[in-house]
Amino acid sequence: MESRDAERAGGDTSRGARRTRCSRRVIRGDASRRAAGSIKSLVYSPSVRNKRATFALVCQTLKYLPILKEVLASTGVLTSKWKKQEELVFVTAYDILFGQETAASGSVEQLIMLHKDTIMAALEKMCIRRKVRSVEDLVSKKRTVKPKPRFLRVNTLRTSTDSVVEELNKIHKVDKDELVPDLLVLPPGTDLHNHHLVSEGKVFLQGKASCMVAVALCPEPGWKVIDACAAPGNKTVHLAALMNGEGSITACELNKERTKTLQNTIRRSGANNIETINGDFLDIDSNDPSYAEVRAILLDPSCSGSGISTERLDHLLPSHSRGNQDDASTSSRIRKLSAFQRKALSHALSFPSVERVVYSTCSIHQAENEDVVSSVLPLASSLGFELATPFPQWRRRGLPVFEGSEHLLRTDPEDGLEGFFISLFVRKAAAAADAVKPSNGGLGVSKQVFKRRNGLMAFGSSRLSRMMMLCSTRGLSRR
């Protein structure tokens, strides 16, 4: 792998420099607890061309990072002169010592090559001192990550599930998920990041648990919907697909950079019924006439991400071991997050015409899940809401910490999925109205849903039948 000093005058735009900068962002962001995204989201961003090589470099550098820090400190290589570029030194040291040694064309490469013999001697002494045979044995054994299937959501705004299955079956074994419509299951490790179906927005690399969130909300075509904390946008464009591109979606995102990511996702999806707002969902006046007809709100707010820490490869980060020393579920960060989550959920329930609100997280902590729902139940009840049961056939429900928690839904790595939490609030008047509607599987699907888009049937018969099964009285069993 190439490595270049990205700090040189004029900046190096080589592939090696881009990979190195990506690695630096991960390490530096983790050190300050201000990471710009997960390891995977940084590596697989559009700005990184050679994604596979970059991903390998980042992960391997993090794997060897404790050893690199110790040996560079013991040899005096990391002097004050290089302290501001220490992340770059770590990445380059890994590349030269354990990766593919490259020509010393940059100042950092020259530094490591100059001291290479000293560093290697220090590594040998470390192995003797710790009674191991090789440097590889020095690498601490991280948790074993059980391979999970590769899930792929078909974007029905651009193509059909059957056509994607037909194409992918030529090179991969493809199954249709039995629970989530338009979700395909491929073998673990299947790499489709560079596949044209992904780049063209015809499919999205999205986990099953994440896909379950939009299906739980089950918005009807023609509705006005808010996605309260929308970036990176996978759930937003899933909502658009479920609505057949009809109606309108307001997608809110507070962070400016994440708003750009959200907009890129929307463009790739081809959805033309989504308006993005770079602002705080909490700043929206629920009594503003512009939002008087909002019928559904998806609230997937900032959370600890503890349910996807393995997927994010957080166990490779230096902060992971520090975090494990504390009881994460009662940490000050979790308390602050849960306070915000309660406030956001209460605000979502305050919109006058909203009928359905999904509150979801990718956290495993009770404080961010059951406790948040329990705390807003009195308000929800006063506004005419009750908890409904998304995916009633799903066996793993909420922790039994309050009456009604059986309506909540959890997914777990034991299920071969990420750790997600989903709750669904439905206004009782809307539930009663649904109960007297003519039976159409509970989807509220109008005849318009069946019109052809781009020569494709919007809802195929097999997809419709599965949606009907999922959404008895609109996908729910109610208490």
Which one of 211, 252, 362, 471 is the catalytic residue? 362
**DSSP code string of 421-457:** EEEEEEEHHHHHHHHHSPPSTTS---GGGGSEETTEE
Find out whether 121 is annotated in a ligand binding site: no
Find out whether 253 is annotated in a ligand binding site: yes
Find out whether 280 is annotated in a ligand binding site: yes
Find out whether 416 is annotated in a ligand binding site: no
In this structure, the number of other CB atoms found within 10 A of the CB of residue 69 comes to: 16
Find out whether 232 is annotated in a ligand binding site: yes
Find out whether 235 is annotated in a ligand binding site: yes
Round to whole Å and give the CA distance between 55 and 61.
10
Find out whether 400 is annotated in a ligand binding site: no
What token pair was written down for 42? 């940084």
Is 362 known to be catalytic? Answer: yes
Find out whether 300 is annotated in a ligand binding site: yes
Q: Give me the torsion for CA of 134, 138, 143, 144, rounded to 10°.
A: 0
Q: Is 453 exposed, middle or buried (0-12, 13-18, 19+ CB in 10 A)?
A: middle
- Reported residue count of the chain is 479
CA distances from 227 to 231, 251, 275, 359 (A): 9, 5, 10, 11
SS (H, E, C) 222-275: CCEEEECCCCCCHHHHHHHHHCCCCCEEEEEECCHHHHHHHHHHHHHHCCCCEE
Find out whether 177 is annotated in a ligand binding site: no
Find out whether 303 is annotated in a ligand binding site: no
**DSSP code string of 72-113:** HHHHT-S-GGGGGGHHHHHHHHHHHHTS------SHHHHHHH
Active centre residues (catalytic) = 362
Q: Binding site residues, as ranges?
A: 229-235, 253, 280, 300
Q: Give the residue ranges of the annotated binding site for S-adenosyl-L-methionine.
A: 229-235, 253, 280, 300
